[in-house]
């Protein structure tokens, strides 16, 4: 593998071999002044993922620049692993995968190398179209909601789906994102964690600020007036002792958790029910919020899922303009703040 390809796609096995050929090890990467630029770039990879969903471009004209780029990748992964936050891991994986997709759009010659490394079975035919095994196609296209991605709408022959290179690149993006998410967190030794502490702390602060900004409540706590009709109805049923279906209980708990309510606050709401069972409710809530698993909680379902599950109740005019209950809360909050400003004028 040439150095430019190694630098552009640092997740490839060949990139790791390129680093080894330059007599680089993890201990040197973390501590040696010679690799300060690699550490700086690694930090930039993570910060870019948090702030812009992307890994920014850098010059790769010189061999030194290419080596630093390759080494910045494992450094970034160590930072993400040490923080071990689901939101950060997913955001970082998406940023790295999106960068690969962008690079491949102008570098179709590297597609099969990337595909082989990601274990995606595929070939290029004489017309420049990609033939991708249908099982891999299904695995990496299931998150694509547009009708055009449905297997029934593809050119399927002899077990292979024939698609354009750009669409293939998009599926490779999903493949890389999935792989990075599955690989992290890495088991980073305590000695390495101490060496990375300054960068870890810096990322942790930026991450906290970003999550606060993205939170539907803006860190201000839940305002019941901003809850969508579906969540208000489910919450009222829970507090009145109605036996909720699993889909409703999941939607309610995951929604409240997404708003920033703690386990104690959520279970307090359920405790108002006349037939409240603390042990049963505790287990269910901790599982949904991730507390039981030591991870972040599940993402609350979108409006389409709520409708499918029969728990979309009394939709109002605002409901028709959003596609997620969390978007409803944000919109209500924004309207209230706007009205407040108008009143002050």
Reported as a single tens digit per residue, the pLDDT across 133-151 is 999 999 999 888 789 999 9
| DSSP 3-state percent helix, strand, coil across the chain (nearest 5) | 65, 5, 30
Residue 172 has what pLDDT? 97
Q: How far apart are the first and last CA of the chain?
A: 64
Residue 163's SS3 state is strand
CB 83 within 8 A of CB 204: yes
Same domain, residue pair 201 and 336: no
Rounded to whole angstroms, the Cα distance separating 218 from 7 reads 38
| Percentage of the chain exceeding pLDDT 90 | 73
- What is the band of 268 on the pLDDT scale with cuts at 50, 70, 90? confident
Do 190 and 73 share a structural domain?
yes
pLDDT at 211: 81
Where does the pLDDT of residue 341 fall: very low under 50, low under 70, confident under 90, or very high at 90 and above? confident
Q: How confident is the model at residue 292 (pLDDT cuts 50, 70, 90)?
A: low
Which residues have C-beta within 8 Å of that of residue 67, sequence separation ≥ 6?
3, 7, 18, 19, 22, 24, 38
276 and 332 part of one domain: yes
Same domain, 207 and 230: no
**pTM of this structure:** 0.76
Q: What is the pLDDT of residue 14?
A: 95
Q: Do 199 and 336 lie in a common domain?
A: no
Average pLDDT over residues 187-200: 96
**With 60 as the cut, is the pLDDT of residue 294 above it?**
no
pLDDT given for residue 45 in this prediction = 98
Does 244 share its domain with 323? yes
Greater model confidence, 295 or 335: 335
DSSP-derived 3-state class of residue 124: strand
82 marked among binding-site residues: no
**Do 202 and 302 lie in a common domain?**
no
Per the CB < 8 A criterion, the answer to whether 251 and 298 are in contact is no
| Selection from 244, 230, 225, 197 nearest residue 316 by Cα | 230
Q: What is the pLDDT of residue 149?
A: 94
Identify whether the C-beta of residue 18 lies closer than 8 Å to the C-beta of residue 1: yes
Rg value, the chain, Cα: 24
User: Domain containing 331: what range?
Assistant: 224-344
Residue 319 annotated as binding site = yes
Is residue 303 annotated as involved in ligand binding? yes
329 and 206 inside one domain: no
Whether 164 is in a domain gets the answer: no
**CA pseudo-torsion sign 136, 140, 143, 146:** negative
């Amino acid at each position: 593998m040439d150095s430019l390809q190694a630098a552009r796609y640092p997740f490839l096995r060949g990139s790791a071999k390129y680093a080894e050929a330059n007599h680089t090890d993890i201990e040197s990467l973390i501590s040696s002044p010679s690799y300060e630029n690699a550490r700086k770039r690694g930090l930039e990879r993570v910060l870019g993922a948090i702030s812009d969903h992307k890994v920014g471009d850098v010059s790769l004209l010189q061999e030194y620049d290419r080596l630093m780029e390759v080494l910045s990748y494992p450094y970034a992964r160590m930072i993400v692993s040490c923080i071990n936050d689901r939101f950060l891991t997913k955001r970082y994986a998406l940023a790295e995968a999106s960068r690969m997709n962008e690079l491949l759009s102008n570098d179709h010659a590297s597609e099969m190398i990337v595909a082989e490394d990601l274990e995606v079975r595929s070939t290029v035919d004489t017309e420049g179209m990609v033939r991708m095994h249908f099982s891999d196609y299904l695995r990496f296209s299931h998150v694509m909601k547009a009708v055009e991605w449905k297997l029934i709408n593809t050119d399927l022959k002899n077990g292979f789906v024939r698609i354009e290179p750009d669409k293939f690149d998009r599926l490779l993006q999903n493949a890389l994102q999935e792989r990075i998410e599955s690989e992290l967190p890495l088991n980073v030794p305590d000695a390495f964690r101490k060496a990375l502490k300054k960068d870890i702390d810096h990322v942790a602060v930026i991450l906290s600020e970003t999550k606060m900004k993205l939170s539907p409540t803006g860190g201000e706590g839940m305002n019941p007036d901003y809850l969508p009709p579906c969540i208000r109805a489910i919450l009222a049923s829970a507090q009145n002792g109605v036996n909720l279906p699993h889909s409703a209980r999941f939607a309610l708990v995951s929604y409240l958790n997404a708003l920033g309510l703690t386990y104690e606050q959520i279970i307090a709401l359920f405790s108002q029910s006349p037939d409240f069972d603390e042990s049963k409710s505790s287990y269910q809530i901790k599982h949904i919020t991730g507390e039981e698993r030591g991870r972040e909680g599940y993402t609350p379902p979108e409006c389409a899922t709520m409708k499918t599950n029969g728990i979309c109740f009394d939709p109002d005019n605002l409901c028709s303009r959003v596609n997620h209950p969390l978007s409803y809360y944000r919109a209500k909050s924004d309207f209230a703040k706007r009205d407040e400003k108008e009143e002050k004028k």
